[in-house]
Every structure is written in structure tokens, then in C-alpha cells.
């Protein structure tokens, strides 16, 4: 998979978090301080008792080495595109006629979102499926996310990220491919279609945001469940989005220095963005998977 240009080389990658980093994390978790707040459930954010219990689990029971070992069973790679090191998984199907498919994650997420579908998508016959439905999978860490390098400069719009993803598929030798995107990935996937429509087999998105236009009678055909979802969207707390968009540097100091601060920031999103909303995040996402 290497190209003739060394700057475009695709390099095998292995996840190796140092023991010193893990020791530092546990030390920070042990020294965490919590505010004294009135009990209001999840109405004003993550409740202190829940966060304390989750932090204790992270500190004493969560096994990163087990997670790391399982992740390293997958084929990881790194390549440099547009000045950024980009991490990705490349799972080649055993089926000769498999179609290439890029899977784009969202926030707060990573390539880990797709672990449970890698087998069924790349080798459907081993999971009771039709071998003609097989895909070669390319699962990148969006630039700035996960094991991809932190962004060296501003200006990484969905369009620019799409250009980088197109270069990645070029390097892997995939002329035509499909793409799936959720959340942040759902903004990048359509840009790939604009950039190279002749190369896209299809685009699938599971985060398509639409709102009423205001035309008379347009809501009359909605079911009660759809009306409730619309009401939920209209009252959605987008405070996290506002500060991440407008003052990201200010927020970054707390999230970088305090693992509990980062945990609270992300776990609230898992709570509000997964269904059913009234359950704890672990009702939808495995706790170890969430912490990984």
C-alpha cells in the first residue's frame, strides 16, 4: 500500500499508550475535586453522584490494556495528508467483489463507534449474511480526532476534510466507493459527493437535520411521536456547540488538564444524544466502550 512519494507513505500503526501516561491519568483521577451542587438529576448537567461513581470505575476497574489489545487486533495505519497525520483502519473483505466503503464517525465519538459492524460488513457470510453485501472498510479518525494528530492550523472545514478523505481513498487505490457519515461525518460525506460525484457509489447519512419551513399545514401529517421529536429538537440544549464553536481554546484548558472535566463534558452528550433519553448512557453504550 506504499506509494512512491515518502510523504504519502501508508505506515502500519500500533496503539501504545505509555505506562507513565496511564499512571498520570490515575493520579489525576484520584485527586479530582467535585463541586457542591444541589441535586437536580440531569436537568442541569451530569449529577455529582453519577460522575463520582463513573470516575471511580474508570480509576479502579476499567482495563485500558485489555481495550488496547483488542483494538490492536485490527489493522491500523497512519498517513500524512495536507500536513496532518491521519489514522485509519483498513479492513479488506475476503470477498473478491466487495465494494469499498468509508465510515465517518461523529462527535463525541471515534472509529470505535464502528467496531461492532466491522465483521458483519466486511465478512457478512460469517455472520449469517449474503457475501454479495461485503465491503472493504476504510474507517478514518477525522483529522484532529483520536489517534489522528491534533490540528496544526485552523481552517479544517468539512470540505477540506473531504478533500483529505478523497486523497486517502486515492492512496488505497479505490477509484469508486461508498461513504457513510453520522453527526460530524454527516457534514463531511455530502462534501465528498460535491467533490467527486462520479466516484461515489452512494452516500448514507444517519444524522440529517431538517426543520419546518413555516408553510401552512406542513405539521398536520406528523404523528404524535414525530411531534414530540420536533419539540425536543426545538428545545435542544446546544450550549456545548456554542462554546466549542466560539471559544474552543478557553474550553480546551479545562478538558485537557482534567480527565474528570473531559469525562463530564462527553458523558453528558452520550446521555442526551442516545435513545432512550431518560436512561443512563450505559443503557445504550457499553461503559468500557464509552471510556475507551
Q: What is the pLDDT of residue 82?
A: 97
Burial class (CB in 10 A: 0-12, 13-18, 19+), 38: exposed
Per-residue model confidence as pLDDT tens digits over 207-246: 877 777 778 888 888 899 888 888 877 777 788 889 999 9
C-alpha span between 87 and 146 (Å, rounded): 8
Give yes or no for residue 25 having a pLDDT over 50. yes
d(CA 180, CA 185): 7
**pLDDT tens, position by position, 90-101:** 999 999 999 999
| Stretch 267-289: mean pLDDT | 86
Q: For residue 3, what pLDDT is reported? A: 41
More confident residue, 232 or 7: 232
What value does the mean pLDDT take over residues 249-272? 95
Q: Return the CATH number of the domain spanning residue range 74-207.
A: 3.40.50.1820
Peptide bond into 108 cis (omega under 30): yes
Contacts of 68 (CB under 8 A, 6+ apart): 15, 16, 17
* Mean pLDDT of all residues in 277-285: 83
Phi, psi dihedral angles at 147 (to 5 degrees): -85, -5
Is the model's pLDDT at 2 over the cut of 50? no
Each domain of the chain, given as residue ranges in start order, spans: 17-33+42-65+225-292, 74-207
Strand 200-205's sheet: what is its strand order?
11-13, 76-81, 84-91, 135-140, 99-104, 177-181, 200-205
Is this structure's pTM higher than 0.75? Answer: yes
E strands in the chain: 11-13, 76-81, 84-91, 99-104, 135-140, 177-181, 200-205
Least confident of 5-9, 43-47, 113-117: 5-9
pLDDT, the chain, mean = 93
Q: What is the DSSP letter of 91?
A: E
Under DSSP, is residue 130 helix (H, G, I), strand (E, B) or coil? coil
CB atoms closer than 10 angstroms to residue 271: 21
Amino acid at each position: 500500500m506504499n506509494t512512491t512519494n515518502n510523504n504519502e507513505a501508508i505506515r502500519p500503526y500500533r496503539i501504545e499508550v505509555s505506562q507513565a501516561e496511564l499512571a498520570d491519568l490515575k493520579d489525576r483521577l484520584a485527586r479530582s475535586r467535585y463541586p457542591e451542587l444541589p441535586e437536580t438529576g440531569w436537568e442541569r448537567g451530569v449529577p455529582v453522584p453519577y460522575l463520582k461513581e463513573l470516575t471511580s470505575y474508570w480509576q479502579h476497574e476499567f482495563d485500558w490494556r485489555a481495550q488496547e489489545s483488542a483494538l490492536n487486533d485490527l489493522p491500523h495505519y497512519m498517513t500524512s495528508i495536507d500536513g496532518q497525520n491521519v489514522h485509519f483502519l483498513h479492513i479488506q473483505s475476503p470477498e473478491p467483489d466487495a465494494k469499498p466503503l468509508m465510515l465517518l464517525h461523529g462527535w463525541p465519538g471515534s472509529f470505535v463507534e464502528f467496531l461492532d459492524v466491522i465483521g458483519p460488513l466486511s465478512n457478512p457470510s460469517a455472520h449469517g449474511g449474503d457475501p454479495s453485501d461485503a465491503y472493504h472498510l476504510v474507517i478514518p479518525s477525522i483529522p484532529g480526532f483520536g489517534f489522528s494528530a491534533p490540528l496544526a492550523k485552523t481552517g479544517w472545514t468539512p470540505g477540506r476534510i473531504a478533500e483529505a478523505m478523497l486523497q486517502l481513498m486515492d492512496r488505497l487505490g479505490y477509484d469508486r466507493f461508498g461513504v457513510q457519515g453520522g453527526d460530524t461525518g454527516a457534514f463531511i460525506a455530502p462534501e465528498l459527493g460535491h467533490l467527486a460525484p462520479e466516484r461515489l457509489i452512494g452516500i448514507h447519512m444517519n444524522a440529517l437535520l431538517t426543520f419546518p419551513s413555516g408553510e401552512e399545514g406542513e405539521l398536520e401529517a406528523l404523528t404524535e411521536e414525530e411531534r414530540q421529536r420536533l419539540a425536543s429538537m426545538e428545545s435542544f440544549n446546544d450550549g456545548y456547540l456554542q462554546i466549542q464553536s466560539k471559544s474552543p481554546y478557553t474550553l480546551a484548558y479545562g478538558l485537557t488538564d482534567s480527565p474528570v472535566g473531559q469525562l463530564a463534558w462527553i458523558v453528558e452528550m452520550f446521555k442526551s444524544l442516545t435513545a432512550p433519553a431518560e436512561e443512563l448512557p450505559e443503557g445504550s453504550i457499553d461503559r468500557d466502550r464509552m471510556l475507551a
